[in-house]
């Protein structure tokens, strides 16, 4: 059975850097497992590796679709299996690095996924409901914890429930020999890393990135649904927060997400 190296851990723990270092040492290539990095134009806020880093080690499943396009865990799984098998076929070692737990486990546990077409009528109906109403309709543990604050993900889960499709994934036969590296830090050190990273991304142009997305037709509703950086910066640009208050709330939200 071919090996698959997986690197996982909380946000700001250095997964991407470790993945690049190990892949360079072990003749590997990297498959990104991040639900925001699949979108073109979501670069700084999603922590996407730079072009210079991609030149060091090939990366896959970055910039796959345009903002606001439908992209599900089923789409990710299919593309990830294709990329991993291609890497193995060229006698290189595949690395799965991320980000989004559901994406990672869809690969290493070979989830049996049933996808369905979006239902525009149902979506229009449930878009009128509050976040708490949507949360009450989706069983605990059926989604990533961050997805319970994402109306778009909740509505997608409800679509599956309405269609009689299980939203809790079922494991399939293991496809690879999974070798998993988990990164962890003491809580206060992790919070310091998060705060430093937010400050660095703001200097790198994270607000300007969101301004550019909005100017190019990406809706505020969609950006807010992404949560964290994109949510708080969009609300700042809407005038809901002063800059310092937005930064404080953004850091606090990422702290909570990392717990």
pLDDT of residue 192: 98
What Cα–Cα distance (Å) separates residue 240 from each residue in 107, 147, 231, 232, 246? Answer: 39, 23, 11, 9, 9
Q: What residues pair up with 97 in beta bridges, in sequence order? A: 7, 32
List the CATH code of the domain at 186-258: 1.10.287.890
Out of 3.90.1150.10, 3.40.50.300, 3.40.250.10, 3.30.380.10, the CATH code matching 1-113+170-184 is 3.40.50.300
pLDDT of residue 168: 77
Question: CA-to-CA distance for 155 and 135, rounded, in angstroms?
Answer: 9
What Cα–Cα distance (Å) separates residue 150 from each residue in 134, 189, 228? Answer: 10, 27, 10
pLDDT of residue 32: 98
Q: What is the pLDDT along the chain (259 residues), one digit of tens a residue?
A: 999 999 999 999 999 999 999 999 999 999 999 999 999 999 999 999 999 999 999 999 999 999 999 898 999 999 999 999 999 999 999 999 998 999 999 999 999 987 778 888 888 888 888 889 999 998 887 777 777 878 888 898 888 888 888 777 789 999 999 999 999 999 999 999 999 999 999 999 999 999 999 999 999 999 999 999 999 999 999 999 999 999 999 999 999 998 7
Closest listed residue to residue 78, CA positions, set 37, 40, 31:
31
What's the number of CA atoms in the CB half-sphere (13 Å) around residue 40? 5
Closest listed residue to residue 165, CA positions, set 121, 117, 115:
115
Q: What residues pair up with 96 in beta bridges, in sequence order? A: 6, 31
Q: Same fold for the domain at 1-113+170-184 and the one at 186-258? A: no
Closest listed residue to residue 47, CA positions, set 243, 180, 229:
229
Closest listed residue to residue 244, CA positions, set 210, 199, 208:
199
Which position has the token pair 């543990």?
Answer: 141
| Domains in the chain: boundaries | 1-113+170-184, 120-168, 186-258
H/E segment holding residue 22: helix 15-25
Question: CA-to-CA distance for 189 and 183, rounded, in angstroms?
Answer: 13
């Amino acid at each position: 059975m071919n090996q698959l190296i997986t690197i996982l851990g909380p946000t700001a723990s250095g997964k991407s850097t470790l993945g690049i270092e190990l892949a360079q040492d072990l003749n590997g290539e990297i498959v990104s497992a991040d639900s925001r990095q699949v979108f073109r134009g979501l670069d700084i806020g999603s922590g996407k590796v730079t072009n210079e880093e991609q030149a060091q080690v090939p990366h896959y499943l970055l910039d796959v679709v345009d903002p606001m396009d439908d992209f599900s865990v089923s789409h990710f799984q299919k593309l990830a299996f294709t990329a991993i098998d291609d890497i193995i076929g060229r006698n290189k070692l595949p690395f799965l690095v991320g980000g989004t737990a559901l994406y990672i486990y869809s690969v290493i546990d070979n989830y049996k996924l049933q996808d369905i077409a979006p239902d525009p009528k149902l979506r229009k109906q449930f878009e009128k409901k509050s976040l708490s109403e949507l949360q009450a309709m989706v069983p605990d543990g059926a989604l990533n914890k961050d997805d319970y604050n994402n109306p778009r993900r909740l509505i997608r889960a409800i679509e599956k429930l309405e269609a009689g499709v299980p939203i809790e994934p079922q494991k399939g036969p293991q496809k690879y020999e999974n070798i998993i590296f988990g990164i962890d830090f003491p809580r206060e050190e992790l919070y310091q890393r998060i705060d430093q990273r937010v400050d660095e991304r703001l200097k790198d142009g994270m607000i300007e990135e969101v301004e550019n997305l909005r100017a190019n037709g990406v809706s505020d509703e969609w950006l807010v649904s992404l949560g964290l950086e994109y949510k708080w910066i969009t609300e700042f640009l809407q005038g809901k927060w002063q800059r310092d208050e937005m930064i404080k709330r953004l850091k606090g939200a990422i702290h909570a997400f990392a717990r």
